[in-house]
Every structure is written in structure tokens, then in C-alpha cells.
Amino acid sequence: MSLERIGLLGRLGPGPNLKRLDRAMTAPTTVATRDLASMYGEMLSLRDRIDRMAATAERELLTRVAATDGIHRPDQCDWADRPAPWRQRIHPKGQVGVGSPLPIGGGITLFHDAVHADISLRQDRVPVGIVGPNFGLVLEVYRFDGSFLSLVQDLPEPALRGLTLNHLVGVQLRITREQPIEIYARLNVQHGPNLEQIVRQFSFDGDHGAAEFDLAYTNINEKRLEKAWLDLILEGPEMNRIAIWDMTLVRAPRADI
């Protein structure tokens, strides 16, 4: 649509349907029940359409604002991704009394093994100075009688396309913690009826963490790849505030020796 067309629509103002609904709601008591119910359905439909359009516009604007995506790519990197919760808004943006499993959105789900847990999760804007992500996930854990809390991220199809035993897969974090906590990454690859699992502990330099998986040491059948997912495992998270300001995934072929 041209800018001239958008400008014309703006000058014309709301469409006839919206004007009709607006007029009716100035005196809703005069509207018949059947008509009011029909109008209510129209309003919900309009709101859903506008919400979807606004979310699309916001994602595009956020992409254009960033001069760089802030993803550290190794030499010959052939795939990189920042999962959706760090790029775009999730709904709802905050939850308390978090149970398990809890779908967060963008292919990521929270799991824990606690029977009694007092957990809150919210999405916040990243602090000034962090380049790349637009949002972060903040976990506040109080009472917690389990042993772990994990965020499980499904890997998209492009991550599997062309994946071979010659690849390295890496995950990087930008994270702050009130109390020290051990964090692990587990890569799960489903190939045919078999499941390959590789666990690595994150090494940290300040608030930057990294873990890497060398597929050369696995028994993955490259010709039968079906799906893959990553578990971000937080051990003993009780009485802690954990802010994950960024998570990125990359893959690259191993360097020839």
C-alpha cells in the first residue's frame, strides 16, 4: 500500500463499521439484545485483528531500530537465532504461581519438578547498554522444594536443515543472578526412533555464559533428523532472582585440523 493511500485512510478516519458501533455504544440500553450480542462479536473480531496488526508493526519497528542483532557468530556460521521471547512481546507479559509445564510462547516452555513452588515470571525491557535483544525473561523464585527449573526451546526447522556430525552448536546467555547458581544446557536431537542428549555446563565470564556441543562425538543419524530442542536447566533456583537478558543459538562447521 502506498504512503498516499495510508495517508488518505488516516484522513478519512474510522471505517463505517467502527462508526456504526461507536454510535450504538453512546446509548447501549436502546440496542436489542440480539443486536448487542452481534455487535460485541464484531468488536472482539476488530480488536483481535488490530492486536495482530499492531504486534506485526511492533516486531518490524524493533527490527529496524537495532543497528545490529548482537549475535556473536563464529567463523563460517551457517545458522543463528534469538528465540522469540527475547525479540518480541509475549502475552501475558507476567505470571505468578507458575506451574509446570507453562508454555511461554515462541516455542519455549517452562518446566520444574517442585510440588510446592512460589515462582513469578515476567518479560521486561532489557537494560540500557545491552545490544541485540529487545526483552528479557525475569524469574523470581521463593519457596521451591524441587531440584530444577528449566526453559525448553524448540529449535526451528532451519536449525536441522543440513545439520551434520561436523557441526558445533553453541548457546550464549546474558544473565544476572542474585545468588550463584549452576546452569546447564542439554541439546536433544530426535533421529528416527532414537534420542541423542548432550549436556554441558555453562562457563561464565561476568554475566556472559556459553556452552558448546560438538556433534562429532554423538551417534546422530544425519539422514533421519526429525526434531531438536534445547533445555536451559537452572539447578536449585530457590530464593533467587534470575534475569535472562539474552539467549542466542548458533551453529558452524568444525574447523579442519
Torsion angle (degrees, nearest 10) of CA 59, 89, 104, 240: 130
How far, in Å, CA of 234 to CA of 186, rounded? 11
How far, in Å, CA of 56 to CA of 88, rounded? 9
Total domain count for the chain? 2
Q: What is the pLDDT of residues 1-29, one digit of tens each?
A: 444 444 434 443 457 778 888 888 888 89
Q: Quick one: pLDDT at residue 46?
A: 83
Q: Quick one: pLDDT at residue 27?
A: 87
Do 64 and 78 meet the contact criterion of CB atoms below 8 Å apart? no
Say what the pTM is.
0.74
Ranges of the chain whose pLDDT falls below 50: 1-13, 257
Residues 88 and 124 in one domain: yes
Residues 145 and 249 in one domain: yes
Inside any domain, residue 27: yes
As given in the structure block, the three cell numbers for residue 167 are 557441526
Q: Quick one: pLDDT at residue 6?
A: 42
Looking at the DSSP bridge assignments, the partners of residue 72 are none
Do 144 and 194 meet the contact criterion of CB atoms below 8 Å apart? no
Residues 124 and 55 in one domain: no
Inside any domain, residue 73: no
Q: Quick one: pLDDT at residue 4?
A: 44
As given in the structure block, the three cell numbers for residue 6 are 495510508
Q: What is the DSSP letter of 222?
A: G
Say whether 102 sits in a helix, a strand or coil.
Answer: strand
Q: Quick one: pLDDT at residue 105?
A: 82
- The boundaries of the domain holding residue 145 are 79-253
